[in-house]
Amino acid sequence: MQEPLDIAIDASGVARFTLNRPKKGNSVDLELAEALAASLDRYAADTNLRALVLTGSGRNFSGGVDLGWMRGAGGASEEANYEDALKLAKLLHRLYTLPVPTVAAVPGRAIGLGVGLVAACDIAVAVDSASFRFSEVRFGILPAVISPYVVPALGVRVCQRYMLTAEPFGVTDAMRYGLVHQMCGFDELPHVTQQIVTELLAGKKGAQAAVKSLLQDGRAPKITDAAIKDTARRLAKLRRTPEAQAALAEFLDHKS
């Protein structure tokens, strides 16, 4: 399987993107972020594309932003941090606005940005052992760039609890809150995902694109370019604070 992003597309026009950094829990570093963004741009222009499945290798969906990348970025200027954060914000928006249906197939943990990727997809199915977590406050930062997607999916009250405590929640709660649509066993995930894809392929591509546009246009508040930039700026400012740098260093030093 190709690292850090494995891509396959079948004859029916279904693309499968697999985040493939298994030793790092499929966390997103600069290389993976750029590969994913470029691939989404390329496939968005592919007239043969009918649907996209986003998953992670092994028993992780995504551990969020790679902490090594984050630690290095923290020592850079605020403007450099802003550019990094903006890349992630635009990546999520590209996934959210892809003109075909998107399915998150979650084989395990989703943390931080990983939860944002799930929420940015149209449909989410997760294994019964999956867990979700907003760990940002433990590192002195905030889940800014994912907030335009996770807050509508989960609701403000749910986010107030889990973004402030950084405690994990399971797939049963994720379904109750609205983040995940369906739960299954680990071995069943490919089959259940394929069932959803089969239903999607029975629809008409133009109509599905129109449905997505209708729902996005009716969303309040809308995810504008200004909102995307604002979330990136909020993250960039907090990344460079002594509190954030100390928290991240303590975690990484303890881990090593």
Q: What is the DSSP letter of 76?
A: S
Tens digit of pLDDT for each residue in 203-248?
A: 999 999 999 999 999 998 899 999 999 999 999 999 889 999 898 8
CATH 3.90.226.10 correct for 5-205+222-255: yes
Task: Supply angle C-alpha 125, 126, 131, rounded to 5.
Answer: 145
Task: Supply angle C-alpha 116, 121, 125, rounded to 5.
Answer: 95
Tens digit of pLDDT for each residue in 117-145?
A: 999 999 999 999 999 999 999 999 999 99
- Give the helix/strand (H/E) hosting 102: strand 102-106
Record the pTM: 0.97
Among 75, 104, 61, 69, CA closest to 88:
69
